[in-house]
Amino acid sequence: MICPFCGNEDTQVKDSRPAEDGGAIRRRRLCGKCDARFTTFERVQIREIALVKRDGRKSVFDREKLERSFDIALRKRDVDAEAVGMAINDIVRQLESHADGDVPSARVGELVMAALYKLDQVAYVRYASVYRNFREAKDFEAFVEKELGE
């Protein structure tokens, strides 16, 4: 594993333990060059997931992009990190089990919306504002009234 601080390829695993309900291995590493410590996660990948964009283009699914989407929506919200990790794992498992491996990108958006709805309604509205491309304040109001019944 390459050190994210100095780029050295000689890093040592100092500690390993299960994470995310056994869906991953968390490894604490030490760089032999700069003595930096960092954490990596090892996960099982059943198959490559290809996202099919609205215009028909395909791209490889990026779990880190999914995690960033959750981070942005949940910024400054008091939500259990383990619950977020489990939600992300659940989405990835659903995508991996898709029949042919080609998943419409809209399906990912809907899965994220469903997960955020269960985790935090403010994060749900934040994500929806970008995903559904809200343009004005009345778009938020209409969405909240329809989706949250407020």
Per-residue pLDDT for 86 more than 70?
yes
The DSSP-derived string for 5-44 is TT--S-EEEEEEEEETTTTEEEEEEEETTT--EEEEEEE-
Q: So what's the pLDDT on residue 45?
A: 67
Q: So what's the pLDDT on residue 142?
A: 84
For residue 130, name the pLDDT band (cuts at 50, 70, 90).
confident
* Structural domain boundaries in the chain: 1-44, 47-148
Average pLDDT over residues 84-101: 86
Residues in the chain: 150
pLDDT in tens, 27-82: 999 999 999 999 998 877 667 888 999 899 999 999 999 999 999 999 999 999 98
Q: So what's the pLDDT on residue 46?
A: 66
Q: Look up tokens 């009345």; give the residue.
A: 138
d(CA 102, CA 91): 15
pTM of the model: 0.69
Q: So what's the pLDDT on residue 42?
A: 87
